[in-house]
Amino acid sequence: MANLKDLKTRIDSVKSTRKITKAMQMVAAAKLRRAQETAEAARPYADRMEAVLGNLAKGASSNSAAPMLLTGTGREDVHLLVVATSERGLCGGFNSSIVKLAKAKIAELQGEGKTVKIITVGKKGREQMKREYGDLMIEHVDMSEVKTIGYANAHGIASDLLTRFDAEEFDVCTIFFNTFKNVVEQIPTELQLIPAVFDNADDEGTSTHYEYEPDENSILADLLPRSIATQIFTALLENGASEQGARMSAMDNATRNAGEMIDKLTIQFNRSRQAAITNELIEIISGAEAL
């Protein structure tokens, strides 16, 4: 009977776990819709800003007076990597995929003899990175108290990066995050922030010629810092939607697995109980025959 009691306790424990995972799945599903809408709403603005700045950069990149955020320092010796992950776990491979991409980049840069510095955003990324690259980490951005991601959060990170760039602490800055595609697929993404790289500029053959007042360099000097903050904000929003999607998928799988385990344990419990009853009957019958 002790075996039956252990099985009953385990079945009750798995049922309690299934209730928790089911509740977390429903919470993630509720948060996902809003996070997805916010991330998708931010994409057109970010893409259009990149296109406008890209067109401006075409005429300014060859100019000696172009901002350093566009032209860079002229070196690529020191790389600053911003690894953006979540503050909480139980979201499948969401955090691991970002960290894996960042580690591959670190190995590549170190293989080329470059100096690497790391800033982590989110506790889970810090926990994974510090085991192997703790000596490279120079700062951590704690967002555990942030209920809703806002532009102010991205602006704070961008201000710190710009201050460090002005102090010549690094030459190239890259951010790592997950781009939301759907509930079951999030794409690990590597995006260079400094110096600015524009892929969405209009093709040379189709672009319209504009005359700017003030000149391109002055506009870029004002807009490039905002562009960096916008890119970081977009990355945080994409991460937020990806996190909820990954958690919803992970909790759904966990709920299914718990259900399957309950079915198996229930079958095992019934068989053990039947065997115990059979043994008792055999003992009773044997005792009666002995009399």
Indicate the DSSP class of residue 214.
S
Check residue 232 and give its pLDDT.
94
Sign of CA dihedral 176, 180, 181, 185: positive
Q: Where are the beta strands (DSSP E) in the chain?
A: 78-84, 115-121, 137-141, 172-182, 185-194
269, part of any domain: no
User: pLDDT tens across 138-149, in order?
Assistant: 999 988 888 888
Q: What's the pLDDT score for residue 80?
A: 95
Residue 265 domain flag: no
> Which residue pairs, CB below 8 angstroms and at least 24 apart, start in 107-112?
109/79
Which residues make beta-bridge pairs with 174? Answer: 81, 192
Q: Which domain holds residue 112?
A: 21-251
Residue 107 above 90 pLDDT?
A: yes
- Is residue 152 assigned to a domain? yes
Which of 35, 83, 91, 237 does the annotation list as catalytic? 91
The phi, psi pair for 188, rounded to 5°, reads -60, 130
Question: What is the per-residue pLDDT for 200?
Answer: 55
Q: Environment class of residue 283 by beta-carbon count within 10 Å: exposed (0-12), middle (13-18) or buried (19+)? A: exposed
Query: Which pTM does this prediction carry?
Result: 0.84
Distances (CA, A) of 266 to 2, 3, 64, 255, 277: 16, 13, 76, 16, 16
Q: Do 170 and 76 form a contact (C-beta atoms < 8 A)?
A: no
* Within-domain flag for 247: yes
pLDDT in tens, 15-68: 999 999 999 999 999 999 999 999 999 889 888 888 888 877 776 655 567 788
Q: What is the share, in percent, of the chain residues with pLDDT greater than 90?
A: 53
Instruction: Kindly report the CATH number assigned to the domain that includes residue 94.
Output: 3.40.1380.10
pLDDT in tens, 65-87: 778 888 888 888 999 999 999 99
Q: What is the pLDDT of residue 204?
A: 45
Average pLDDT, the chain: 87
Query: Could you give the number of structural domains in the chain?
Result: 1
Within-domain flag for 289: no
Q: For residue 263, is it within any domain?
A: no
Instruction: Name which of 71-75, 94-98, 195-199 the model is least confident about.
Output: 195-199
The whole-number pLDDT of residue 79 equals 95
**Annotated catalytic residue 173:** no
**Does residue 279 sit within a domain?**
no
Res 286 pLDDT > 70: yes
Domain contains 45: yes
pLDDT the model gives residue 209: 61
